[in-house]
Amino acid sequence: MALLSLIIRCTITITWFNQREKVLAPDSYGYERLAINLIEHRVFSQSSMPPFTLDTHRTPIYPLFIASVYSATDRNPIAVILAQNFIDALNTTFIYAIASSASNQAGIIASLAYAIAPLPIFQCQRMLTETLFVFFILAATLSGLKAITHHRSLAIMTCGLMLGLATLTRPVGIGIWFIWFIALAIAMRRLTLSQWLLAMVKFAVSSLLPIVPWLIRNFIAFKMLFLCTGHHIAFAYYNAASVLSRATGLSLEQAQVRLFNESISDFDGMRPFKAEDAEDIWQPAIQDPRNTMALMRRAKEIVRQHPTETVLVHAEGFMHYLFMTIPIRDVLAKFSGVEGKVFDEPIRERLMRLLNDGKVGTAISLAWNERLKPLPLGAKLLWFYSLIFTLLIEGIALGTIKVYIVRRDIARTICLICIAISLYLLLTPGPQLEPRFRAVAEPWLIMLASIGITGVIERRGKVAIQQSAP
């Protein structure tokens, strides 16, 4: 299945994503600049010329990955995509190994489904962190399952190390570290207290090994302990601002400006200027980690003041992520060359208003006319394939929960971990609604569905045997 996965991804790269502008997303330029500065100046900065201001916005693993590929390929972004295709082929192998712990059939189904899954395939074609992040989380899961079943020190420490690297790829990985800490703590509860403590210390220390040097770097440079400011800014400008927008009736942009202006009196670092519009909230002062912490404090206050709106915003975001398919504007329109004004007009708020009013038919008509109708036939077929795939995988995963939850073997352990990780990854982005945040949850939903399918097959087989018995 790994070979099939690699062939599909490389074919798509060579056929459609064979130009620099097609593989670079907005965030890609920052990652690329960090990588180039690492190669040329040995400094972690997004500055394009001296003096190089140390970057606080990103963690280092993905820029280091790009830098390693660029060093070997004369800075070719397509080479980065081909490397990601290879990594995602390895992810297919990891998925087979994890799911086959429940049954060989589940492993085959899961790896085949991931090899042809549209969201991971297309996410590979962007110079973004998701493919590498999934690699580290799957590697950690495979090691973690070995630690659960055999209590081996090497497996425990490998799981921790991979989770540490995942966190340095995307800070959201810290939540998955907690999921695995709880899973290992429960799985090893029958050990003696000293053995249990030693195992948990090994797990914690191994996960800190890659993180501590980065924390020390930030402390030396900024006199603060933090991973990066990017995820704090995203929480403030999207999660908290969306809560404020829902609570006050402001637009998201107006809420972002208000949140920023209410925070600047507490900024202790670089002095800001008052924001007049949404462009101003990204001013250089926000890169100062002391200012970011002030922004975060105000964001947390908003979330605490509006608990109902917070739940509603994240529940709505969760439902969007759960049924999200290939992004029409960001992918299909781009590689089919049908970009234009119609794709730049916001559609989400109008769709939600129609759906809330019960006008489902009108909402479908709006989505068809403004997003699907202008696309060529091939792009339409890809979108429908993505939609059908998503509904099948999630329908099976949700519809067969009872099948794998009632089991008393490693299959239930795998499924509980998959449920916990997928829920965490689908809930935390809240209202940001970027398909790449959904793509990282795809492996876990696919494994749930594959184990559910094999569980149903096994159950029906047993029933057939019982009925045929004399």
Q: Which residues contact 285 (CB under 8 A, 6 or more apart)?
A: 264, 267, 269, 270, 271, 272, 273, 291
Cα R_g (the chain), whole angstroms: 23
Q: From CA 96, how far away is CA 47, in angstroms rounded?
A: 42
Distance CA 444, CA 110 (A): 10
pLDDT of residue 431: 75
Residue type, 195: Q
Average pLDDT along the chain: 87
| pLDDT the model gives residue 1 | 84
47's CB contacts (< 8 A; 6+ apart) are: 33, 37, 53
- CA angle at 324 for the pair 322 and 330, rounded to the nearest 5°: 150
328 pLDDT exceeds 50?
no
Alpha helices, H only, 130-229: 130-150, 153-169, 173-187, 193-208, 211-222
Q: Is the peptide bond before 120 cis (omega within 30 degrees of 0)?
A: no
Least Cα distance to 236 among 215, 276, 218, 263 occurs for: 263
Q: How confident is the model at residue 391 (pLDDT cuts 50, 70, 90)?
A: confident
As a whole number, mean pLDDT of residues 271-289 equals 90
Decide if pLDDT at 71 tops 50: yes
pLDDT-derived band at 341, boundaries 50, 70, 90: very low
127-142: pLDDT as tens digits: 999 999 999 999 999 9
Residue 352 pLDDT greater than 70, yes or no: no
Average of per-residue pLDDT across 228-245? 92
Whole-model pTM: value is: 0.91
pLDDT in tens, 145-180: 999 988 889 999 999 999 999 999 999 999 999 999
The pLDDT, as a whole number, for residue 339 is 55
* Residue ranges of E strands in 15-84: none
Task: Quote the distance between the C-alpha of residue 123 and its chain's center.
Answer: 10
C-alpha–C-alpha distance, residues 221 and 404, integer Å: 49
Cα gap 428→441, rounded to integer Å: 11
- Measured distance CA(287)–CA(261) in Å, rounded: 16
Tokens coding 72: 């070997």
Q: How many CB atoms lie within 10 A of CB 319?
A: 11
Q: What are the pLDDT digits (tens) for 11-22? A: 999 988 888 988
Whole-number pLDDT of residue 331 = 57
% of the chain exceeding 70 in pLDDT: 89
**pLDDT at residue 345 tops 80:** no
